Amino acid sequence: MSRLVMKFGGTSVANIERIRNVARHVKREVDAGHEVAVVVSAMSGKTNELVAWCTEASPMHDAREYDAVVASGEQVTSGLLAIVLQSMGIQARSWQGWQIPIKTSDAHASARIEDIDGSEIIKRFRDRKEVAVIAGFQGINPETNRITTLGRGGSDTSAVAVAAAVKADRCDIYTDVDGVYTTDPRIVPKAKRLGKIAFEDMLELASQGAKVLQVRSVELGMVHNMPIFVRSSFDKPEDIDPHANQPPGTLICSEEEIMESHVVTGIAFSKDEAQISVRQIEDKPGVAASIFGPLADANINVDMIVQGVSEDGKTTDLTFTVPAADFTRARDTITAAKGKIGYARLDTATDVAKISVIGSGMRSHAGVAAQAFSALAGRNINIRAITTSEIKFSVLIDTAYTELAVRTLHTLYGLDQA
């Protein structure tokens, strides 16, 4: 007998019929003798609707009331799933974040989980064989007793955190895809589903644009060494053997559990990027701080950073990228600090994309990035900026070449046959 946490996203619980399908997945695991906690998102589109209502009520709304409103979507889903499970003869009870409680920081709309007491849920597993149906995305700040939310995609984080708190054997993330692929199959039809992927590789894929999992959920899994299994909620529940060692999907686990990894695990891409180049800055100590300090104060995350000699040979240029959603604020922040920075010109571009090549195998293989640069040059794709780390490198290119670049690199590293 295992203890499982099963998480279902918005498309999986989009209506009552799909909630019934979710209930059949849960029943399959219960009938197999497993102890089960379920974490659910709001119905597909519901959170967007609630956010829009908050904005319509007042564009400058109170973040505490925002959380009170948007957390209600998950409350509805958890109650409905508990009702359906009860109608199928399964002991089930819904739980809101504050009831467990899931204790968080007071950063409303982007709170971080600080502690979860899973003792009552574990007790009910033992005493009542009861399925816990938990509202994802929400918690409570113990100092204010106010409802908090964890940010978009936060139900993934809720699920992994709950799995750690109840000492689950595995956290299953049910979604609208059947696992993690070497890249987006809509871009590369030959993309392959990965049977296993290391936490580190998945963390890079998620942070560089892959939409399968929220980054913080992967971080939590890695910290607690909690295996995460990504699988499809649209597979017929009755067609799945709950006793199978690994049903269809992708297991995210420690690197030690993977017998042999490829040099490159996957290709991620993001079109939600903007480039800012600060031209002809005096090359002296403190100039980078004068640029990135104000951006940090404005809570704008900077990603790729490249510094080079200016055209005049006497000054320096500094190029960096920010999320497209933060472009206008970033540009205005730098413009406002022009007197302190002392630059000659500001160049910007929003028609850029970031392509990232990820793989733990890069640690022991030289020349992986050089192969990519040569292959992209052969396709006449110009590279605007480059960043590297131990298991990843990223290039910034024109958006128009995104799909060609992804397909080229996917083939280059043999992922078509992975």
Q: Look at residues 8, 2, 53 and name the one whose alpha carbon lies nearest to residue 29.
A: 2
- Say how many residues make up the chain: 418
* Alpha-carbon distance values, 256 to 56, 174, 199, 217, 340 (Å): 50, 25, 10, 20, 50
The annotated binding site for substrate is made up of 47, 74
Q: In what order do the strands lie in the sheet with 228-232?
A: 92-95, 131-135, 35-40, 3-8, 170-175, 228-232, 250-253, 196-198
On whether the CB atoms of residues 346 and 372 are closer than 8 A, the answer is no
The annotated binding site for ATP is made up of 7-10, 175-176, 181, 186, 211-212
Q: How far is the C-alpha of 368 from the C-alpha of 363, rounded, in Å? A: 10
The annotated binding site is made up of 7-10, 47, 74, 175-176, 181, 186, 211-212
The CATH architecture to which 266-417 belongs is: 2-Layer Sandwich (3.30)
On whether the CB atoms of residues 1 and 149 are closer than 8 A, the answer is no
Torsion 371-377-381-384 (CA) sign? positive
Domain ranges of the chain: 3-257, 266-417
Residue 33: per-residue pLDDT: 94
Alpha helix ranges (H) inside 129-242: 154-165, 199-207, 215-224
Q: How far is the C-alpha of 177 from the C-alpha of 195, rounded, in Å? A: 14
On whether the CB atoms of residues 343 and 288 are closer than 8 A, the answer is no
Q: How far is the C-alpha of 405 from the C-alpha of 64, rounded, in Å? A: 43
On whether the CB atoms of residues 255 and 199 are closer than 8 A, the answer is yes
Q: In what order do the strands lie in the sheet with 316-323?
A: 305-309, 316-323, 266-281, 345-358, 392-398, 385-389
Helices 215-224, 199-207: inter-axial angle, 10-degree rounding:
160
On whether the CB atoms of residues 118 and 159 are closer than 8 A, the answer is no
User: If you search the block for the tokens 């950063």, which residue do you land on?
Assistant: 107
Torsion 360-363-366-369 (CA) sign? positive
Q: In what order do the strands lie in the sheet with 102-104?
A: 113-116, 102-104, 138-141, 146-149
On whether the CB atoms of residues 361 and 262 are closer than 8 A, the answer is yes
Instruction: Name the helix (H) or strand (E) containing 255.
Output: none
CATH assignment of 3-257, given 3.40.50.150, 1.10.3720.10, 2.60.120.260, 3.40.1160.10? 3.40.1160.10
Residue 135 CB contacts under 8 Å (≥ 6 apart), including other chains: 39, 40, 71, 74, 75, 77, 78, 94, 95, 96, 97
Backbone φ and ψ for 167, nearest 5 degrees, come out as 60, 50
Residue 418: per-residue pLDDT: 60
**SS3 (DSSP) at 3:** strand
On whether the CB atoms of residues 200 and 256 are closer than 8 A, the answer is no
Helices 46-57, 63-70: inter-axial angle, 10-degree rounding:
150
pLDDT tens string, the chain, 418 residues long: the values are 699 999 999 999 999 999 999 999 999 999 999 999 999 999 999 999 999 999 999 988 999 999 999 999 999 999 999 999 999 999 999 999 999 999 999 999 989 999 999 999 999 999 999 999 999 999 999 999 999 999 888 999 999 999 999 999 999 999 988 999 999 999 999 999 999 999 999 999 988 877 788 889 999 999 999 999 999 988 888 888 877 766 789 999 998 887 666 789 999 999 989 999 999 998 888 888 999 999 999 889 898 998 877 777 788 889 999 999 899 999 999 999 898 898 889 999 999 999 999 998 888 777 899 999 999 999 999 999 998 888 999 999 999 999 999 999 999 999 987 6
* pLDDT (tens digit per residue) in 183-196: 999 999 999 999 99
Q: What is the pTM of this model?
A: 0.87
